[in-house]
Amino acid sequence: MAAKSRIVNVAALQFACSDDAAANVDKAEALVRAAHQKGANIILIQELFEGYYFCQAQREDFFGRAKPRKDHPTILRLQKLAKELGVVIPVSFFEECNNAHYNSVVVIDADGTDLGLYRKSHIPDGPGYQEKFYFNPGDTGFKAFQTKFAKIGVGICWDQWFPEAARAMVLQGAEILFYPTAIGSEPQDTELDSRDHWRRVMQGHAGANLVPLVASNRIGTEVIETEHGESEIKFYGKSFIAGPTGEIVAEANDKEEAILTAQFDLDKIKAKRSSWGVFRDRRPDLYKVLLTSDGTSNMPL
């Protein structure tokens, strides 16, 4: 009997953001349309693409950038676009919900349906990346979204450093992992360059879970006025798509706008994932230590 085949084409977008939301959304739409022309079914736009990465500074006026999910103009526009093109689009946005604020993604299906919300779970706090000032820790938990083309998991930027997040999404059936991102230079240390480390960690998630992985990052230099003067980050791009053994199948450079695409046979990958045995041989009964912060608290004697 011939093996089943379920083909999906994925895309990662990469571009420089201005601080003009309308212009950025126009750019994102143009690149989504171009990715569709290349055959993409699921198209990933980078993290918080409506403007500059404002978390370089702790400024109360930047809370004005947040909007509720309901009737969010960018989400509504991309729902219309997804329906027109018949593509799936995870959409990153700064969410306001009553008195809480989140770094969030909604997943829009190919018919324009809002399939649900994921709120970023791991919130960084360091020079240039002061997200704890703006974002509550996400409360949705990790999810797998059933889209027209595949069941997908979406993490957001700092989530990509945590193998537990990737495994949690794949355990729920995610067949492809997507990570919208905003990462670049470190304002406090010009010699620190995390790009290779960043990529290798996610290649490990793909290989450990035997699923493709798509990462979309921005490019360009952004200067933000902070309470201590100007802060500058040069975003290093290097968006990529990895296959189910962690191999790089498409990669952008650190300077140029890009539309990356790759094709995967999800049924073939599923068969390999099943035969490899990493999910058969898991021992959840031995992983209770993962529910602690220090490896010992509340552990049975």
List, for residues 58-67, the tens digit of each pLDDT value.
999 999 999 9
Q: Is the pLDDT of residue 301 over 70?
A: no
Strand residues in the chain grouped as ranges (E): 7-14, 42-44, 89-97, 100-108, 114-119, 125-126, 129-130, 145-146, 151-154, 176-180, 213-216, 219-226, 229-236, 240-242, 248-251, 258-265
Residues noted as catalytic: 47, 120, 157
pLDDT at 185: 96
- For residues 226 and 17, what is the distance between their CA atoms, to the nearest angstrom? 19
Residue 75 identity: I
φ, ψ at 117 (rounded to 5°) = -120, 140
- Please provide the average confidence, as pLDDT, over all residues in the chain: 96
Residue 5 binned pLDDT confidence (cut-offs 50, 70, 90): confident
- For residues 34 and 81, what is the distance between their CA atoms, to the nearest angstrom? 12
- pLDDT (tens digit per residue) in 189-234: 989 999 999 999 999 999 999 999 999 999 999 999 998 899 999 9
pLDDT at 227: 84
CA 57 to chain CA centroid, nearest Å:
22
- For residues 61 and 59, what is the distance between their CA atoms, to the nearest angstrom? 5
Portion of the chain with pLDDT greater than 70, in percent: 97
148, containing H or E segment: none
Mean pLDDT of 7-20: 98
Q: Residue 288: is it exposed, middle or buried by C-beta count within 10 angstroms (0-12/13-18/19+)?
A: exposed
pTM of the shown model: 0.96
Alpha helix (H) ranges present in 90-240?
A: 163-171, 195-209
pLDDT at 105: 98
- pLDDT (tens digit per residue) in 239-278: 999 999 999 999 999 999 999 999 999 999 999 999 999 9
Portion of the chain with pLDDT greater than 90, in percent: 94
Question: Using an 8 Å Cβ cutoff, are 195 and 240 in contact?
Answer: no
Three-state DSSP at 22 gives: helix
- pLDDT (tens digit per residue) in 125-182: 999 999 999 999 999 999 999 999 999 999 999 999 999 999 999 999 999 999 999 9
